[in-house]
Amino acid sequence: MSVERREARQPWILLSPALAAIALLLFVPLVFILIYSFWLRTATGADQIGFFLDNWQEALSDRFYRDILLGTLKIALITTIACALMGYPAAYFIARSRGNKAILLLLLMLPFWVSYIIRTMSWINILGVSGAVNSILLSLGIINEPIQMLYNETTVILGLVHFLLPFMILNVFVSLDGIDETLEDASNSLGATKWQSFLEVTLPLSLPGLAAGGLLCFVLGAGTYITPLILGGPTDAMFANLVYEAIITQLNWPLGSALSLMLLVVLGTLVLIYNRYLGMAQLMKGLG
Amino acid sequence: MGWSLIRGWTLLVYVFMFLPVAVVVLLSFNASQFGSFPMTGLSVRWFVELAQNDAILRAFRTSIILGLLTAVLSTILGVLASLALVRYRVPGSNLISTLLIAPILVPEVVLAVALLLFLNFLSINKSFMLLLFGHVIFTLPFVVLVVQARLIAIRRDIEEAAMSLGASPVQTFFEVTLPLMLPAVLAGALFAFTISFDDITGTLFWKPGGVETVPTQIFAMLRNSISPEINALGTVMILLTVGLPLLGLAIARQMSAKRGR
């Protein structure tokens, strides 16, 4: 074998374990659940192999599933908007601060590293019946009985915002940090007010970061089932909860496959649209 | 005026991020037998009880073993792939990069279902092995991203210098490339460990009955009510998941500082 051919082969040898793992543990399983979604779980609990449209018919025509899917998208959208409104000014502050940016970023990363389940359940300590807010209000005499603030859609969104906000801030920060500050100065010196300069120069240039952060918040938010289980009430199930129910509780794996694929198609479409217009590079920057 | 408004807002955002976590730590030292306010005094009794709780200790052991194995496997796969992408001109490298990060583009619930059902079809039931496979596949993209970002920063000419001075490719790799890569490798491994240690979304699907990791153990305990023990466990988790990356960062700094001299 010639040296060149060996050279050409080497990267593939290095890549093959990772690519094989992804093919076998992700792509083949995805194809498998597509096939599985056309099987049927019979009353005896066995799978009937074949081509049945029953699961898809149920998943696509049942109002119950559609309402929860729409509700999930609504929760994810509100969460994303809240993250953008809270996160953008903070990212702007970090990017433009004269102080130590590294420390500010590190401070932001600290709660980010705290485990998701801990951060989610920590809100019970704040908003629960004997949580911080109630005990302060009680001791001040503002209320006589603790208020039930937990276990509704608002607390689900609150938990999601708390979980996802760092993703937004990091992505916006990365794009703001890459903008030449003198552009704003130039715009100011040409007669624009500071606010005008921000709206016409800085904001448009930071949109890729905002979009990357928004995509992450939306997709991660819409795919969660733990937050509604901990901070939501019985009626606050999100779509991923239905998947969990079907797979783990009801053991209806074919239906669970169809529901999973529905979620994948909806969220995957967003990722593809994003990729089409902005490319994956921006997303990598914020994650890396 | 505008700037101080932004500063105030940022401060509020930081308070929002930190406050709930700080309250967990605060309440874990509460002497009261309820995991909530009011504080009746400071005590470490919940940590003592934690250390005597077999279920929690088992969960810790499972999480640590799972995290370490995940880190090792994921880092090996990730470093090899990153080397190929950074060091060679590979046709279709954009597509390959996208494939490598595909596990984070697919919602974790969907990945969890697909892997569970497929491996079950292959007669691999819910087991530690399934957990390990799952954790490797969703930590791999993060390892690739972190390692790749750092590999790019290593200058190729140092290796070329070694080779031109007579080192063989293998010698060059072990004596030059590997030491230079070490911070990247460690960062990747640490990242994989932390993500694995934290995971609950996939883990709940993959774990066999009776096996708990720390997050699923917390989740199971939450089903009853929030006990002071959960807050204590939370504090330990916070120390671990925040302390480890900070330690890693410090080590990486130290190593690069040494090299700088």
Cα B57 to Cα A29: distance, rounded to the nearest angstrom:
33
Binary contact (A125, B35; C-beta < 8 A): yes
Whichever domain contains A262, its CATH number is 1.10.3720.10
Instruction: Judge whether A267 is closer than 8 Å to chain B, CB to CB.
Output: yes
Residue A221 with chain B: CB contacts under 8 Å: none
CA B159, B162, B164, B167 torsion: positive or negative?
negative
Please name the residues in contact with A26: beta carbons below 8 A apart, sequence gap of 6 or more: B102, B103, B106, B111, B114, B115, B137
pLDDT at B226 over 90: no
Q: Above 60 in pLDDT, residue B11?
A: yes
What pLDDT score was predicted for residue B244?
76
pLDDT top residue among A225 and B171:
A225
B191-203 pLDDT, tens per residue?
Answer: 899 899 999 999 9
Q: Which tokens is B205 given?
A: 């699907």
Q: What is the mean pLDDT of residues B252-256?
A: 72
Identify whether the C-beta of residue A282 lies closer than 8 Å to the C-beta of residue A214.
Answer: no
Are A243 and B109 inside 8 Å of each other by CB? yes
Q: What is the pLDDT of residue B16?
A: 95
Nearest to B218 among A117, A126, A224 (CB): A117
Q: What average pLDDT does this structure show over B149-177?
A: 84
- The model's confidence at residue B71, banded by pLDDT at 50, 70 and 90, is very high
When comparing pLDDT for B94 and B254, which is higher?
A: B94
Q: Distance between CA B123 and CA B144 in Å, rounded?
A: 30
- Residues of chain A with pLDDT below 50 are 1, 288
Q: In this complex, do B234 and A118 lie within 8 Å of one another by their Cβ atoms?
A: yes
Please answer yes or no on whether A121 and B107 come within 8 Å at the CB atom. Answer: no
Mean pLDDT of B115-119: 96
Lowest mean pLDDT among A110-124, B138-152, B246-260: B246-260
- CA B234 to CA B88: how far, in whole Å? 44
Q: Cα B204 to chain center, whole Å?
A: 17
Please check whether residue A179 lies inside any domain of the structure. yes
| pLDDT score, position B261 | 47
Is residue B251 pLDDT above 80, yes or no? Answer: no
At residue A2, the pLDDT reads 59
Give the pLDDT of residue A130: 83
pLDDT at A4: 67
What's the full length of chain A, in residues?
A: 288
Q: How far apart are the first and last CA of chain B?
A: 45
Average pLDDT over residues B216-231: 84
Q: What is the DSSP string of chain B?
A: -HHHHHHHHHHHHHHHHHHHHHHHHHHHTB-SSSSSSSP--B--HHHHHHHH-HHHHHHHHHHHHHHHHHHHHHHHHHHHHHHHHHHS--TTHHHHHHHHHHHHHS-HHHHHHHHHHHHHHTT--SSHHHHHHHHHHHHHHHHHHHHHHHHHTS-HHHHHHHHHTT--HHHHIIIIIHHHHHHHHHHHHHHHHHHHHH--TTHHHHPPTT---HHHHHHHHHTT---HHHHHHHHHHHHHHHHHHHHHHHHHHHHHHHHH-
DSSP assignments along chain A, one per residue: --HHHHHHHHHHHHHHHHHHHHIIIIIHHHHHHHHHTTSEE-TTSPEEPS---HHHHHHHH-HHHHHHHHHHHHHHHHHHHHHHHHHHHHHHHHHH-SS-HHHHHHHHHHHHHS-HHHHHHHHHHHHSTTSHHHHHHHHTTS-SS-----SSHHHHHHHHHHHHHHHHHHHHHHHHHTS-HHHHHHHHHTT--HHHHIIIIIHHHHHHHHHHHHHHHHHHHHT-SHHHHHHS-TT---HHHHHHIIIIIS--HHHHHHHHHHHHHHHHHHHHHHHHHH-SHHHHHHH-
The hierarchical CATH code for the domain B47-260 is 1.10.3720.10
Does a structural domain hold residue A30? no
CB contact under 8 A, A14 and B16: no
Q: What is the mean pLDDT of chain B?
A: 88
Domain count, chain A: 1
Contact B17 A28 (CB under 8 A): no
> Contacts of residue A268 in chain B, CB cutoff 8 Å?
105-106
Q: Taking a C-beta distance cutoff of 8 angstroms, is the pair B191, B244 a contact?
A: no
B46: how many CB neighbours lie within 10 A of its CB? 23
Q: Does A213 touch chain B (CB under 8 A)?
A: no
Residue of B104, B118, B204 lying closest to A29 (CB–CB) = B118
The whole-angstrom distance between A62's CA and the closest CA on chain B is: 20
Residues B34, A223: C-beta atoms closer than 8 Å: no
Q: Which two tokens stand for residue A131?
A: 């949580």
Does A3 fall in a domain? no
Q: Does residue B49 have a pLDDT over 50?
A: yes
Q: From the candidates B37, B88, B246, which should be mutated to test the interface with A, based on the most A CB atoms within 10 A? A: B37
Residue partners of B63: CB distance under 8 A and separation at least 6: B196, B197, B213, B214, B215
Distance CA A27, CA A143 (A): 55
Confidence of residue B45 (pLDDT cuts 50, 70, 90): confident
Selecting from A132, A195, A248 the residue whose C-beta is nearest the C-beta of B37 gives A132
Of B98, B138, B16, B105, the residue nearest A215 (C-alpha): B105
The verdict on a CB contact (< 8 Å) between B99 and A19 is yes
- A28 within a domain of the structure (yes/no): no
Which residues of chain A does B105 touch, with a Cβ-Cβ cutoff of 8 Å? 268, 271
Least confident of A234-238, B131-135, B142-146, B242-246: B242-246
> What whole-number distance in Å separates Cα of residue A13 and Cα of residue A5?
12
**Mutation site for A-interface testing, chosen from B17, B26, B108, B177 by largest number of A Cβ within 10 Å:** B17
Q: Is the pLDDT of residue B141 over 80?
A: yes
**Interface contact A3, partner B, CB < 8 A:** no
Q: How far away is chain A from the Cα of B33, in angstroms, using its nearest Cα?
A: 13
Interface test with A, best of B56, B60, B109, B193 (most A CBs within 10 A): B109
Confidence at residue A50, expressed as pLDDT on a 0 to 100 scale: 87
How many angstroms away from the CA of B69 is the closest CA of chain A? Answer: 15
* pLDDT at position B137: 97
Listed in sequence order, the residues at least 6 apart from A261 whose beta carbon sits closer than 8 Å to its beta carbon are A33, A34, A37, B110
State the smallest CA–CA distance between residue A120 and chain B in angstroms. Answer: 9
Closest CA–CA distance from residue A280 to any residue of chain B (Å): 8
Q: Find the angle CA(B202)-CA(B226)-CA(B40) to the nearest 5 degrees.
A: 145
CA distance B27 to chain A (A): 8
Distance from C-alpha of B57 to C-alpha of B17, rounded to nearest angstrom: 29
Q: Considering only CB atoms, which chain B residues are within 8 Å of A18?
A: 77-78, 80-81, 100, 140, 144
Tell me the residue range of the domain where A216 lies: 59-287
Tokens of A260: 């999973």
Return the half-sphere exposure (C-beta side, CA atoms, 13 A cut-off) of residue A35.
12
Query: CA-CA distance, B261 to B258, in Å (whole number)?
Result: 6
Task: Report whether pLDDT(B117) > 70.
Answer: yes
Residue A83 lies inside a defined structural domain of this protein:
yes
